[in-house]
């Protein structure tokens, strides 16, 4: 069943401050009228068909929908197929037949520069006039300006292409969203002590200027500042994750989160998950969820080494005599830093016999014999 809605109109590439103003008005109108807040976009940028030139996009369709739902409260997002028929549709038909009859729009919201219909003959003034004729509401959002210039997707694309990411983020109002599956690279970043994630961009999505970018991982809609480290040769994968009030954390909730991060699709090998909380100067409390065991363990040497490696490089601990407390006891870690990498790690702590056993000849299996 299609519900009556307040409908936002636009392509919404990037969901910048101008789009946010338009979508916020849509949500407010829907709340006041008791209708569904919805947005109409297109699967292809109209300029690609109109001018015959592909437009490098800030986001995929899935990313645009995610941002509109999450940041702007849209409950319904429609992607119309933009083809020759849509491009040459008379603007009156677009409003009467498509927006009102098919999409059940009872109120529409557009930007000051929105054009639609054959040869772009539909504009905000004509849209308002037609809406009055049809007995539905229409809001036109004025231009949003930052630093004396209009906020637009085109302006943001130029900033990203020239590496001016902080300026682009100011116009977006949020971090640039890139989704994808991490692929294995040459390991150069890991060799320097700064493991990096290689995420191929979707076809048609704008690639920012060459550089190294910091990102956040997201699990079940929650973002975690996560550092991925492979320690040793072959590398043992670890996800180092800060966790507030770790000592008092609910065991079951922490286990479920550990399991989710351990199997996070971005980690090609899976990962041991090292939750931590800094409890004092060069003092840390740690819980480790280990792959293979698939539960928490009393201690993890490579995990504790990875934890101190990350925090030393981030400047959060000195790297000298760092005390790490865990359920199995305490380890003291010394990380020898060489500029932007950790040259060596030393772990000091007690050793305990946890089990004894015997191996008899009958238990041995020798390959090839």
185 inside domain: no
CATH number for the domain spanning 100: value is 3.40.50.620
Domain boundary among 123, 154, 185: 154
CB 138 within 8 A of CB 170: no
* CA gap 245, 259 in Å, rounded: 19
- Same domain for 136 and 233, yes or no, is no
Closest CA to 323 of 353, 287, 278, 275: 278
Closest CA to 345 of 332, 360, 354, 361: 332
- Choose between 96 and 203: higher pLDDT: 96
- Same domain for 26 and 146, yes or no, is yes
For residue 28, give the H/E element and its range. helix 17-33
Joined tokens for residue 194: 């700064």
Joined tokens for residue 175: 């971090």
57 inside domain: yes
- Same domain for 32 and 150, yes or no, is yes
128 inside domain: yes
Rounded (5°) CA angle 216-320-236: 45
Closest CA to 58 of 161, 146, 141: 161
Residue 34, judged by CB atoms within 10 A of its CB (0-12, 13-18, 19+), counts as exposed
Domain boundary among 154, 174, 202: 154
Domain boundary among 154, 183, 200: 154
- Same domain for 9 and 150, yes or no, is yes
Q: Which residues contact 106 (CB under 8 A, 6 or more apart)?
A: 4, 5, 6, 33, 35, 136, 137
247 inside domain: yes
Average pLDDT over residues 48-66: 89
* Dihedral-angle region of residue 135 (phi above 0 means left; psi in -120 to 50 means alpha; beta otherwise): left
SS3 304: helix
Q: What are 159-195's pLDDT values in tens digits? A: 998 888 878 988 998 878 877 776 766 665 555 555 5
68 inside domain: yes
Rounded (5°) CA angle 74-75-79: 75
* CA gap 304, 238 in Å, rounded: 10
SS3 309: helix
299 is in which domain, residue-wise?
Answer: 217-348
Q: What are 297-355's pLDDT values in tens digits? A: 998 999 999 999 888 887 889 999 999 999 989 999 999 887 667 888 999 988 777 78
Q: What are 110-127's pLDDT values in tens digits? A: 999 999 999 889 999 999
Report the mean per-residue pLDDT for the chain.
Answer: 86
Closest CA to 66 of 7, 3, 15, 110: 15
What pTM did the predictor assign? 0.59
* CA gap 323, 286 in Å, rounded: 10
Do you find a cis peptide bond into 234, omega within 30 degrees of 0? Answer: yes
340 inside domain: yes
Tell me how many domains the chain contains: 2
- Same domain for 9 and 136, yes or no, is yes
Cα-flanking dihedrals φ and ψ of residue 303, to 5°?
A: -65, -45
CATH number for the domain spanning 247: value is 3.10.310.10
30 inside domain: yes
- Same domain for 234 and 324, yes or no, is yes
Do the bridges between strand 283-290 and strand 272-280 make them parallel or antiparallel, or are there none, so unpaired?
A: antiparallel
Q: What are 63-78's pLDDT values in tens digits? A: 999 999 988 899 999 9
The neighbouring-strand residues paired with 277 are: 285
Joined tokens for residue 235: 């590398």
């Amino acid at each position: 069943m299609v519900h009556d809605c307040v409908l936002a109109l636009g392509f919404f590439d990037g969901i910048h401050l101008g789009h946010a103003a338009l979508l916020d008005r849509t949500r407010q109108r829907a709340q006041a009228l008791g209708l569904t807040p919805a947005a109409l976009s297109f699967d292809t940028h109209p300029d690609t068909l109109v001018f015959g030139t592909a437009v490098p996009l800030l986001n995929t369709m899935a990313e645009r929908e995610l941002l509109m739902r999450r940041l702007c409260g849209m409950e319904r997002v429609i992607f119309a197929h933009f083809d020759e028929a849509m491009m040459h549709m008379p603007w009156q038909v677009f409003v009467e037949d498509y927006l009102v009859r098919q999409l059940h729009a009872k109120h529409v919201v557009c930007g000051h520069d929105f054009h639609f219909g054959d040869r772009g003959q539909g504009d905000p003034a004509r849209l308002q006039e037609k809406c009055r004729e049809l007995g539905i509401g229409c809001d036109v959002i004025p231009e949003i300006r930052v630093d004396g210039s209009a906020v637009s997707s085109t302006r943001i694309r130029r900033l990203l292409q020239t590496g001016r990411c902080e300026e682009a983020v100011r116009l977006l109002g949020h971090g640039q969203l890139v989704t994808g599956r991490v692929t294995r690279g040459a390991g150069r970043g890991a060799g320097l002590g700064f493991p990096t994630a290689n995420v191929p961009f979707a076809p048609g999505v704008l690639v920012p200027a060459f550089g190294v970018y910091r990102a956040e991982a997201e699990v079940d809609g929650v973002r975690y500042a996560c550092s991925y480290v492979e320690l040793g040769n072959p590398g043992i994968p670890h996800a180092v994750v800060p966790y507030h009030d770790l000592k008092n954390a609910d065991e079951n909730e922490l286990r479920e989160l550990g399991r989710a991060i351990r199997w996070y699709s971005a980690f090609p090998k899976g990962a041991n998950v090292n939750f931590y909380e800094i409890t004092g100067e060069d003092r840390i409390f740690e819980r480790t969820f280990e792959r293979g065991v698939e539960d928490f363990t009393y201690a993890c040497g490579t995990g504790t080494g990875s934890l101190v490696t990350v925090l030393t490089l981030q400047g959060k601990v000195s790297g000298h005599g760092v005390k790490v407390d865990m359920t199995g006891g305490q380890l003291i870690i010394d990380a020898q830093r060489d500029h932007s990498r950790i040259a060596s790690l030393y772990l000091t702590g007690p050793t305990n016999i946890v089990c004894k056993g015997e191996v008899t000849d009958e238990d041995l299996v020798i390959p090839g014999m």
